Amino acid sequence: MLLIFSFFKTLTDQVITVELKNDLSITGTLKSVDQFLNIRLDGISVEDPERHPHMLAVKNCFIRGSVVRYVRMAARSVDTTLLEDATRREAKEAKK
C-alpha cells in the first residue's frame, strides 16, 4: 500500500484519468494524494459529459480513495523497472 502511495506521489502535477466505481471517469491534474489514496484533482473534465451533466460546473474535486476503480496515466510517467525494484523491497520489508 505504501508502495502505491509512493508511486502516486510521483504522479503529482500530471494529468491522469480516474475511473470511479460508478463508471464516472474524471480527467484532471493530480494535485495531491494521501496514504488512503484519496485523490485531489484540478482542472477536471468528465468523459461522457452528457451522462453526467452535473459535473460540468465542477472544476476540481477530491476523490475518496476507496471509490476509485482505475487510474490511467501516461506510460512514460511510470518507471517499470524501478517499480519492480520497489516491489522487491517492499516484499522484503514485509518478510522481515
Partner 1 sequence: MSGFFGFDTSLPERGGQRGPGGGQQHFSGFQASNVDETFALGGAGEEEDLAVYTWGEGGMGGGGLLEGGDELNDETFGDDLGEINNNFQFSSQPATAPPTVKGKIASTQSRYKPKPVSDPFAFSEDDFYSSRPSKKTTTAKAPSRPKPSTGQSGSVENLWNKPAVSSPAWGTAPSAMTKLTPPPSASFPSQPPAPGHIKSLEEIEAEMAQMAIPSTSTAAPTQQKVFSLEEIEKQMMEQIEPPRQATPQQPAPPREATPTQVPGLAGSGYASQQALLDSMFPELGKGPSALGGLAPAFPPGPRQEGQSQPSQPPQPSPEELARMEELHKRITSKIQSMAKYNNLMGSSDKDFITRIQLSQLATADPYTSDFYAQVFSALKRSRMIAEGQGDGPTVVQVGAGMGLGVGGPVGNRFGKMGQNTMTKLSTQVKKLVENRAQHQKITNTAALQGALGRVTRGNAAAPRPVLAIPTSNKPENRPASQLNQQTGIHRAALTKKQVMFALEELYDAILELEQMRREAPPPTAMEEIEIWHAKCQAKVDIIWRRLMVMEPLDISIPHPFISLVNPIKGQKLFPRLLRHLPHTQSITLLSLLIATYTQLDVVFRAPPPPVADASLLTKADRLDRVKREAETDSFLQFVIPGVDMIINRCGLGLVAGMLAISAQRSEVWRVAATRPGVALYTALLSKAQSLIRSPTPDPMNPQQNQQVDPAELEQWSKTFTYFLHVLLPHLNDLFPSSVAQKAAFGPGAYLIGGDAVSDREGQEMERREAEVWGFVAVLAVNAAEEDQTNLVAALREKILHTVQSSRHPNVSPARAEMKLRNVNMFLNGLGLDASMIE
Cβ proximity to partner 1, 56 vs 74, nearer residue: 74
C-alpha cell at 34: 494521501
Cβ proximity to partner 1, 4 vs 55, nearer residue: 4
Contact footprint for partner 1 (CB under 8 A):
2-3, 6-13, 32, 34-35, 79, 81-83, 85-86, 88-90, 92-94, 96
Write down the least CB distance from residue 95 to partner 1, Å.
Answer: 10
Write down the least CB distance from residue 55 to partner 1, Å.
Answer: 26
Q: How big is the chain by its Cα radius of gyration, in Å?
A: 15
What would the DSSP string read from start to end of 13-78? TSEEEEEETTS-EEEEEEEEE-TT--EEEEEEEESSTTT-GGGTT---EEE-GGGEEEEE--GGG-
Cβ proximity to partner 1, 48 vs 84, nearer residue: 84
